[in-house]
Amino acid sequence: MNMLSIGLAQISPIWLNKELTREKIRSYIEEAGSHGCDLVVFGEGLLPGYPFWLGLTHGADFNSKMQKEIHAHYVRNSIQVEAGELDILCEAAKKNKIAAYVGIIERAKNRGGHSLYCSLVYISKEGEIKSVHRKLMPTYEERLAWSPGDGHGLQVHSLKEFTVGGLNCWENWMPLARTSLYGQGEDLHVAVWPGSVRNTEDITRFIAKEARSFVVSVGALMTVKDFPSDTPYRDEIVKNAVDPLTDGGSCIAGPDGEWVLKPVVEKEGLFTASIDFNRVLEERQNLDVAGHYSRPDVTRLILNRERQSTLKTIE
C-alpha cells in the first residue's frame, strides 16, 4: 500500500478535435493500466487543446470575425461533463483499475453551456468522476477564451496510502490554492501544464520542498504539424508560431525536492515511476506546513467550495 506507480502521459492533442483527442487519451489510460500504473496524468486542457491562436492572431481584437469563428469551433469541441462526454474515459479507468487526472476545456452546463473553463478532472479507479476543478484564474491571454473558476474542485482523494490533489498551470504559483490542498492532507501534488520545461523544472522541486510531498508535473506537446489541416484560419495561426510551441517538461520530484524523474523534453510517450509513501513521513519530520510547522491561531485560510452559478432555482 505504501508504493504507488504513476504514469505521465506526455502527448499532443488532435488539436480541437474532441472525439479523436478523447480516443487518444483513452488509449493512454489503457497503456498505463497495462504497465500496472495506479494513476495516470495528462496535461492542462489537453482535451481538446490549448488556445494557442490567442497569442498568434491578435486574440484581443474586438469583434473580429476570425476570433469569433475560431472561438465557436473551440466551444463545439469542448467537453460537457454532464452530457456524459467523459464516459469513455471513466470506463477505461474502471476496466484498468487506474485513477486519472485529465485536463479538459469544460463547457459548463451550470453556467449556461456557452462559456468555457479550464478544468482538471479526477477519475477514480472505480471509473467515477470525483472532482472537476475549474481553474481559479486563467493566465493573461487565456482570459480571452476561459472564464474564472471556483473552489468547488479544490478537493483531495485517497489513493492507496497517498492523498492526491491537483492544480492547473499557474495556479501552482498561488500560495493559498496550494495551502487549501495542504490543509486537506495532500502528500501527492499533481500540477498540469500546457507543456514547458521552463515552468516545470523550478516549481516542481519548489512545491516538493515546501510541502514535503511528491510532486508530479505533466505537460503536453504541440508542434506546427500538430495543427490539423481543417483548423479554421490555420495558416494565420501557424505563420507566427515557434516550433515547438510546447515541449513537455513532465517530471516528478520527491518530498526532499530531488528528482525522481527528471524533466522529459520534446518526446511523446508514457513515462512511469514508482514512489514510496514512507518518504513523505520521513521528510515531514522536520517540516509539515499544515501540521506541526503551522500557526492556525495566527494565520488561517478559509476555503469556499460552493459551485458558483448565476441561477438558484427554488421549486
User: What does the block give as the cell for 267?
Assistant: 518526446
Quick check: is 169 catalytic? Answer: yes
The type of residue at 132 is V
Catalytic residue chosen out of the listed positions 37, 90, 118, 169 = 169
Angle at 67 between CA 62 and CA 68, to 5 degrees: 90
CB within 8 Å of 143: residues ≥ 6 apart = none
DSSP 8-state symbol, 248: E
306 flagged as catalytic:
no
Among all chains, which residue has been given the C-alpha cell 524523474?
A: 261
Give me the catalytic one of 37, 44, 210, 251: 44
Q: How far is CA 251 from the centre of its chain?
A: 14
Helices and strands (DSSP H and E) totals, the chain? 7, 13
Distance CA 288, CA 292 (A): 6
- Say how many C-beta atoms besides its own lie within 10 A of residue 283's C-beta: 21
Q: Where are the alpha helices (DSSP H) in 125-216?
A: 175-182, 197-211
For Cα atoms 223, 12, 195, give the angle at the middle one, nearest 5 degrees.
75
Q: Can 44 be counted among the known catalytic residues?
A: yes
Which residues in 1-10 are b (16+ Cβ under 10 Å) and which e?
Answer: eeebbbbbbb
CA distance 79 to 21: 11
Catalytic member of 90, 135, 171, 210: 135
Write out the catalytic residue numbers: 44, 135, 169
